[in-house]
Structure 1
Amino acid sequence: MKNPNPGDRREIARSHAGALIDEGLRQHMLRVYNYMGLGLVVTGLVAYTVGTTPAPFMPIFLTPLKWVVTLAPLAFGFFFSFRMQSISASGAQTMFWAFCAVMGLSLASVFLVFTGTSIARTFFIAATMFGATSLYGYETKRDLSQFGSFLIMGLIGMVIAGVVNLFLGSTAVQFAVSVIGILVFVGLTAWETQTIKQQYTENFDQESLQKLAVFGALSLYLNFIDMFQLLLTFTGQRKE
Structure 2
Amino acid sequence: MTVSYASQTEIVRGFLARTYSWMSAGLALTAGVAYMTAQNEGFAMQVSQLYLPLVLLQFGLVMGLSFLAPRLNSVMAGMLFIVYAAVTGLTFSSLLYVYSPDAVISAFLSTAGAFGLMSAVGYFTKRDLSGMGQFFLFALLGLFVAMIVNLFMGSGLLAMLISGVGVLLFAGLTAYDTQKLKALALSGISGEDAERAAVHGALALYLDFINMFLFILRFFGIGGSDD
Q: Distance in 1 between matches of 2:138 and 2:69?
A: 23
Which residue number in structure 2 is paired with residue 110 of structure 1?
95
In 1, Cα distance between the equivalents of 2:102 and 2:159?
Answer: 24
Matches within 5 A, 1:24-63: 24-61=11-48, 63=49
1:169 and 2:154 aligned: yes
- Note the C-alpha offset of 1:205: 3.2
Query: What is the distance in 2 between the residues matched to 1:122 and 1:204?
Result: 36
Task: List per-residue Cα deviations over 1:190-223 (Å, max 9, x = no partner).
Answer: 0110001101146333100001111111000000
- Structure 1 moving runs of 4+ over 3 Å: none
Aligned counterpart for 2:8 among listed residues 21, 27, 32 = 21
1:41-65 CA-partner distances (Å, limit 9, x unpaired): 000000111122112111121x2x1
1:144-183 alignment to 2 at 5 Å?
144-183=129-168
**Distance in 2 (alpha carbons) for counterparts of 1:82 and 1:224:** 20
Give the distance between the partners of 2:107 and 2:47, measured in 1 at CA.
Answer: 25
Give per-residue Cα distances to partners, 1:113-144, cap 9 Å, x unaligned: 11112211110000000000011000111101
Aligned residue runs from structure 1 range 113-152, under 5 A? 113-152=98-137
| Alpha-carbon separation, structure 2, partners of 1:138 and 1:59 | 43
The one-letter code matched in structure 2 to 1:164 is V
For 1:98 and 1:52, the matched residues in 2 are separated by 21
Q: What are the equivalent positions in structure 2 for 1:56-75 lying under 5 Å apart? A: 56-61=43-48, 63=49, 65-75=50-60
Matching residue of 1:227 = 212
Q: TM-score if structure 2 supplies the norm length? A: 0.94
Distance in 2, Cα, partners of 1:149 & 1:66: 32
Identity rate, percent: 34
TM-score of the superposed pair, with normalisation by structure 1: 0.89
Partners of 1:202 and 1:167 in 2: CA distance: 47
Structure 1: gaps of 5 or more residues: 1-12
**Could you tell me how far 1:74 is from its partner in structure 2?**
1.4
Match of 2:73 among 58, 79, 88: 88
Whole-Å Cα distance in 2 between the matches of residues 169 and 82 of structure 1? 34
- Number of corresponding residues: 225
Conserved in 2, the CA contact under 8 Å of 1:35 and 1:214? yes
The answer (yes or no) to whether the contact 2:47–2:91 under 8 Å persists in 1 is: no
Q: What amino acid is the match of 2:10?
A: E
Q: In the aligned structure 2, how far is the partner of 1:174 from the partner of 1:52?
A: 29
Bigger radius of gyration among the two: 1
